[in-house]
Amino acid sequence: MKIDVLTLFPEMFQGVFSSSIMKKATDKEKVSFRAVNFRDYADGKHKVVDDYPYGGGAGMVLKPQPLFDAVEVLKKEAETAPRIILMCPQGERYTQKKAEELAGEEHLIFLCGHYEGYDERVRIHLVTDEISIGDYVLTGGELGAMVVADSVVRLLPGVLGNDDSAVQDSFSSGLLEHPHYTRPANFRGMKVPDILTSGNHRHIDEWRREQSLKRTWERRPDLFDHHPLTEKEKQLIDSWQAKKTT
């Protein structure tokens, strides 16, 4: 996979792209990263990338020309048509499902804006996706692009030490992930559940599934809107609800 980021602050990505899983993915040649300053593509002597909004109003708006020109150059270099992602608080709320979708692409281009926003022609005629990582506003799109890139890269085959790790993540199954424990089995009187040291993997799998269901019911019941429950799962939730109300 190839990931290009168009930003006015490429230095922000140096640590992210050269650390942890991102670095491992690069070393394994699973992904290549590039942060491009789109100011370099701005017309004129002073390389101005923003201007006042037509009709008045607060703030400055990013001009279309630098972004269009930068994307056109990157597309000419591309072997396949890239997904062009606008990081924007008005965009589609980001989910694990979207991460899995993007992980199937060969080339992603992120547009990271600042100031009041983008010229609307960027939104209408240039990008393929608009993504928001949450219902809040950041100073720019860079942090959001880092979040999306990290969540996508870790899904690429061979990036994690165990490919099953990504499959078992919270949200991948539609539910939150079950609790985890490691050694020692007894830490300051806090013991690991007996089932996990039993060696019975079928029972362990059942326990984990039940704990995943319970954690989702307790913390994110809204996820059930998109996760059809079996009769057994419904009965478990009914029993927990009954205990809660008594």
**Alpha carbon distance 227, 54 (integer Å):** 45
Q: Which residue in 69, 101, 150, 169 is the catalytic one?
A: 169
Half-sphere exposure at residue 204, Cβ-oriented, CA atoms within 13 angstroms: 13
pLDDT of residue 171: 66
> Along the 246 residues of the chain, how does pLDDT read in single tens digits?
999 999 999 999 999 999 999 999 999 999 999 999 999 999 999 999 999 999 988 889 999 999 999 999 999 999 999 999 999 999 999 999 999 999 999 999 999 998 778 999 999 999 999 999 999 999 999 999 999 999 999 999 999 976 666 655 556 678 999 999 999 999 999 999 999 999 999 999 999 999 999 999 999 999 999 888 999 999 999 999 999 887
The answer to whether 49 touches 39, Cβ cutoff 8 Å, is: yes
Domain boundaries, the chain: 2-153, 186-245
Catalytic annotation on 130? Answer: no
CA distance 63 to 118: 7
- The annotation places the binding site at 113, 133-138
- 1.10.287.3510, 1.10.1270.20, 3.40.50.620, 3.30.1280.10: CATH of 186-245: 1.10.1270.20
pLDDT in tens, 178-217: 999 999 999 999 999 999 999 999 999 999 999 999 999 9
Whether 149 contacts 3, CB under 8 Å:
yes
Q: How far is CA 239 from CA 218, 221, 235, in A?
A: 13, 15, 6
- pTM equals 0.86
Q: Per residue in 93-122, pLDDT tens?
A: 999 999 999 999 999 999 999 877 899 999
Q: Which residues are annotated as a binding site for S-adenosyl-L-methionine?
A: 113, 133-138
Same fold yes or no, 2-153 and 186-245: no
Active site residue 121: no
- Catalytic residue (one of 53, 64, 89, 179): 89
Is 116 catalytic? The answer is yes
pLDDT for 164 equals: 60
Q: Which of 116, 130, 210, 233 is catalytic?
A: 116
Q: Find all residues with CB under 8 Å of 217, minimum gap 6, and list them.
A: 224, 237, 240
CATH class of 2-153: alpha beta
From 10, 119, 129, 154, active-site residue: 154
